[in-house]
Protein backbone atom coordinates (compact mmCIF):
# COMPACT_ATOMS: atom_id res chain seq x y z
CA UNK A 1 0.00 0.00 0.00
CA UNK A 2 1.18 3.46 -0.92
CA UNK A 3 0.78 6.16 1.62
CA UNK A 4 -1.23 9.08 0.34
CA UNK A 5 0.19 12.45 1.07
CA UNK A 6 -2.26 15.14 2.12
CA UNK A 7 -1.94 18.59 0.70
CA UNK A 8 -1.43 21.18 3.45
CA UNK A 9 -4.64 23.03 4.38
CA UNK A 10 -2.94 26.40 3.90
CA UNK A 11 -2.23 25.61 0.25
CA UNK A 12 -5.87 24.57 -0.28
CA UNK A 13 -7.04 27.82 1.30
CA UNK A 14 -4.67 29.85 -0.87
CA UNK A 15 -5.90 28.14 -4.05
CA UNK A 16 -9.56 28.69 -3.12
CA UNK A 17 -8.91 32.34 -2.24
CA UNK A 18 -7.11 32.91 -5.55
CA UNK A 19 -10.02 31.46 -7.51
CA UNK A 20 -12.53 33.65 -5.62
CA UNK A 21 -10.45 36.80 -6.21
CA UNK A 22 -10.17 36.02 -9.95
CA UNK A 23 -13.94 35.51 -10.22
CA UNK A 24 -14.61 38.80 -8.38
CA UNK A 25 -12.14 40.69 -10.61
CA UNK A 26 -13.79 39.28 -13.71
CA UNK A 27 -17.26 40.24 -12.43
CA UNK A 28 -16.11 43.78 -11.63
CA UNK A 29 -14.63 44.28 -15.13
CA UNK A 30 -17.29 42.37 -16.99
CA UNK A 31 -19.47 45.37 -17.69
CA UNK A 32 -19.76 49.11 -17.24
CA UNK A 33 -21.74 50.17 -14.20
CA UNK A 34 -23.56 53.50 -14.48
CA UNK A 35 -25.19 55.67 -11.84
CA UNK A 36 -27.10 58.73 -13.02
CA UNK A 37 -27.28 61.60 -10.55
CA UNK A 38 -29.02 64.97 -10.89
CA UNK A 39 -25.83 66.82 -11.81
CA UNK A 40 -23.44 64.10 -13.02
CA UNK A 41 -22.97 60.60 -14.35
CA UNK A 42 -20.79 58.11 -12.50
CA UNK A 43 -19.10 55.32 -14.47
CA UNK A 44 -17.41 52.33 -12.88
CA UNK A 45 -15.72 49.42 -14.58
CA UNK A 46 -13.43 47.37 -12.41
CA UNK A 47 -10.79 49.63 -10.90
CA UNK A 48 -11.67 52.55 -13.20
CA UNK A 49 -14.05 55.20 -11.94
CA UNK A 50 -15.03 58.38 -13.73
CA UNK A 51 -17.44 61.17 -12.78
CA UNK A 52 -18.70 63.49 -15.49
CA UNK A 53 -20.67 66.56 -14.45
CA UNK A 54 -23.30 67.28 -17.08
CA UNK A 55 -22.29 70.94 -17.43
CA UNK A 56 -18.77 69.86 -18.45
CA UNK A 57 -19.97 67.72 -21.40
CA UNK A 58 -19.04 69.27 -24.73
CA UNK A 59 -20.19 66.73 -27.31
CA UNK A 60 -21.53 63.20 -27.70
CA UNK A 61 -20.99 61.50 -31.06
CA UNK A 62 -21.21 58.01 -32.55
CA UNK A 63 -18.02 56.38 -33.79
CA UNK A 64 -17.47 53.01 -35.38
CA UNK A 65 -13.82 52.58 -34.35
CA UNK A 66 -11.61 54.02 -31.70
CA UNK A 67 -8.30 55.38 -32.99
CA UNK A 68 -5.07 53.51 -32.38
CA UNK A 69 -3.64 54.64 -29.08
CA UNK A 70 -1.02 53.48 -26.64
CA UNK A 71 -2.39 51.89 -23.50
CA UNK A 72 -1.10 53.50 -20.32
CA UNK A 73 -2.85 50.88 -18.20
CA UNK A 74 -5.87 48.67 -18.68
CA UNK A 75 -6.75 45.42 -20.35
CA UNK A 76 -8.30 43.79 -23.40
CA UNK A 77 -10.25 40.55 -23.36
CA UNK A 78 -11.98 39.33 -26.51
CA UNK A 79 -14.06 42.33 -27.63
CA UNK A 80 -13.72 44.29 -24.38
CA UNK A 81 -11.34 47.20 -23.99
CA UNK A 82 -10.98 49.04 -20.68
CA UNK A 83 -8.43 51.46 -19.37
CA UNK A 84 -6.59 54.71 -19.76
CA UNK A 85 -4.89 55.34 -23.09
CA UNK A 86 -2.61 58.01 -24.54
CA UNK A 87 -3.22 59.70 -27.87
CA UNK A 88 0.04 60.18 -29.78
CA UNK A 89 -1.01 63.69 -30.85
CA UNK A 90 -1.66 64.88 -27.29
CA UNK A 91 0.42 62.61 -25.03
CA UNK A 92 -0.32 64.45 -21.77
CA UNK A 93 -4.10 64.06 -22.19
CA UNK A 94 -5.61 60.78 -20.96
CA UNK A 95 -8.25 59.04 -23.08
CA UNK A 96 -10.63 56.80 -21.15
CA UNK A 97 -11.94 53.69 -22.89
CA UNK A 98 -14.85 51.81 -21.28
CA UNK A 99 -15.93 49.61 -24.18
CA UNK A 100 -17.86 46.39 -23.58
CA UNK A 101 -18.00 45.40 -27.26
CA UNK A 102 -15.46 46.66 -29.81
CA UNK A 103 -17.55 45.32 -32.71
CA UNK A 104 -20.42 47.75 -32.03
CA UNK A 105 -20.68 51.49 -32.31
CA UNK A 106 -19.25 53.50 -29.47
CA UNK A 107 -20.05 56.86 -27.92
CA UNK A 108 -17.28 59.43 -28.16
CA UNK A 109 -17.85 61.82 -25.29
CA UNK A 110 -15.77 64.98 -25.18
CA UNK A 111 -15.74 66.82 -21.86
CA UNK A 112 -13.78 69.56 -20.11
CA UNK A 113 -12.84 70.91 -23.56
CA UNK A 114 -10.11 68.34 -24.32
CA UNK A 115 -10.77 65.05 -22.51
CA UNK A 116 -12.23 62.08 -24.38
CA UNK A 117 -14.19 59.03 -23.25
CA UNK A 118 -15.14 56.11 -25.48
CA UNK A 119 -18.07 54.20 -24.07
CA UNK A 120 -20.48 51.47 -25.02
CA UNK A 121 -22.35 48.62 -23.40
CA UNK A 122 -22.82 44.99 -24.34
CA UNK A 123 -26.49 45.82 -24.99
CA UNK A 124 -26.76 48.17 -27.98
CA UNK A 125 -30.14 49.44 -26.76
CA UNK A 126 -28.50 50.55 -23.52
CA UNK A 127 -25.84 52.38 -25.55
CA UNK A 128 -28.56 54.06 -27.66
CA UNK A 129 -30.42 55.16 -24.51
CA UNK A 130 -27.22 56.57 -23.03
CA UNK A 131 -26.54 58.49 -26.26
CA UNK A 132 -29.99 60.07 -26.19
CA UNK A 133 -29.69 60.87 -22.49
CA UNK A 134 -26.26 62.51 -22.83
CA UNK A 135 -27.30 64.41 -25.99
CA UNK A 136 -30.24 65.85 -24.06
CA UNK A 137 -27.88 66.89 -21.25
CA UNK A 138 -25.44 68.57 -23.68
CA UNK A 139 -28.34 70.44 -25.35
CA UNK A 140 -29.49 71.72 -21.96
CA UNK A 141 -25.95 72.83 -21.06
CA UNK A 142 -25.56 74.92 -24.23
- Single out the residue of 32, 15, 1, 18 nearest to residue 126, CA to CA: 32
User: Can you give the residue ranges of every domain in the chain?
Assistant: 9-141
Q: pLDDT, tens digit, for every residue of 6-40?
A: 668 888 899 999 999 888 877 777 788 899 999 99
Q: pLDDT, tens digit, for every residue of 71-124?
A: 998 878 788 888 999 988 888 889 999 999 999 999 999 998 889 999 999 899
Does residue 81 contact residue 67 with C-beta atoms inside 8 Å?
A: no
- Single out the residue of 112, 130, 104 nearest to residue 96, CA to CA: 112
Distance CA 94, CA 77 (A): 21
How wide is the angle at C-alpha 23 spanned by C-alphas 94 and 81, nearest 5°?
A: 25
pTM: 0.80
Distance CA 86, CA 109 (A): 16
SS3 of residue 63 by DSSP: strand
Query: In sequence order, what are the beta bridge partners of 117?
Result: 96, 109
Query: What is the CATH code for 9-141?
Result: 2.30.29
Amino acid sequence: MMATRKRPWLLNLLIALTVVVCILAFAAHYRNWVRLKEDRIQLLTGVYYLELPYEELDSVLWTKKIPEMERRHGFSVWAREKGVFVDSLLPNRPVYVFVDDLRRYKLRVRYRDTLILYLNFADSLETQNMYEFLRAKTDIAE
